[in-house]
Amino acid sequence: MKQFYYFSKNKLKFVEIRNFYRKFIFLILFFSTLISFLVFGTFFVINQIINPNAEVTRLQAENRALQNKLKSALRKYEQLDAKLDKITSENNALRLAVNLDPIDVNNRVKGMGGAVFDDMPISTSEDVKKVISKLNSKISEVAAEVNFEKNNYEEIKNKLEYNKKLYRCIPAIKPADGPYGDRFGMRFHPILKIRRMHTGIDILVNTGTPVYATGDGVVSFVGRRGGYGRVVEIDHGFGYTTLYAHLYRYLVKKGQKVKRGQKIALSGNSGRLSTGPHLHYEVRHNGIPLNPRNFIFDDIKLFDIVKK
């Protein structure tokens, strides 16, 4: 390794420089660092002298960028709030469509709309803080309203499913193809010769005419029942039952599920209180007899929906 010396005046001789390379590198690094500080320090001082507002300008630019982002957020909030207003209106229409009472506006969770921010200037950092605080509050209100409408939709959905099942089950067609005979209500009984409540309607048909279920349900009774003769009774749920009497033959069994328009029996003249071949048909709700004619849509053709 090459050695380096210096002349010592005190010793009057050349003395070897120990660890020369290490000392040399240290001096280079030291002077490089010193020069860097001097250069950057000089640049900073000169820049401050030439452009004293550089930092202010930078902060102002960042502030303008933040203001633009905030205004953009406000516009999005206004659009969201407008959409929620539309959803609220449509939900009330849907509630009416599924036979639910509309929700009173006072019972709704309601945001206050973008107009809250229209008159709020955004020029200082304090203004920005105020608007952000206001915006956060409104976002919370919108979130609450979204959750409210979500629950509202769930209620509408459940009611719609309930209605679909109800409409399939409720008696809604004529059970046999024939002209009407005795109507529902008080009448002079042709056999007993007394005034008596007729709890159903009679349909004049020949023996062997198909009889159809007037709604979805479960057969709850098949057999003879006093003056009714041979009877099929169907439980439709929701408190509704239908009864088909004076039958000739059963085509279903107790406990069997049936659909509206499904053939369940053949009409006849069974029962000691039958004056001739016909179908006696009843509709009851929670055990109370109702006028079956109120459940028959005469504009619906029976054979358009019967089950083959």
Residue 231 belongs to a domain with what CATH number? 2.70.70.10
Same domain, 229 and 296: yes
Give the residue from 169, 203, 233 where a domain finishes.
169
In a domain, 66, yes or no: no
Same domain for 43 and 89? no
61 domain-assigned: no
In the chain, where does DSSP find H-type helix?
Answer: 20-50, 54-97, 125-169
Q: Specify which of 129-133, 149-153, 239-243 reaches the highest per-range mean pLDDT.
A: 239-243
Q: Which of 111, 139, 169 is the last residue of a domain?
A: 169
Higher-confidence residue of 54 and 231: namely 231
Task: Give the containing element (helix H, strand E) for 233.
Answer: strand 230-237
203 and 229 share a domain? yes
Instruction: State whether 210 and 153 are in the same domain.
Output: no
At 153-164, the pLDDT tens digits run: 788 888 888 888
Distance CA 135, CA 271 (A): 78
The parent domain of residue 124 ranges over: 78-169
Based on the fold, state whether residues 189 and 269 are members of the same structural domain.
Answer: yes
Domain-located, residue 104: yes
Q: How far apart are CA 278 and CA 229, in angstroms?
A: 12
**Domain co-membership, 125 together with 193:** no
Q: State percent of the chain over pLDDT 90.
A: 31
| CB crowding 44-56: b at 16 or more within 10 Å, else e | eeeeeeeeeeeee
Q: Are residues 219 and 290 in the same domain?
A: yes
Q: What does the pLDDT look like over 28-62, one tens digit per residue?
A: 776 677 677 676 667 666 656 665 555 566 666 77
Same domain for 149 and 231, yes or no, is no
- Report the number of distinct structural domains present in the chain: 3
Name the CA radius of gyration of the chain, rounded: 46
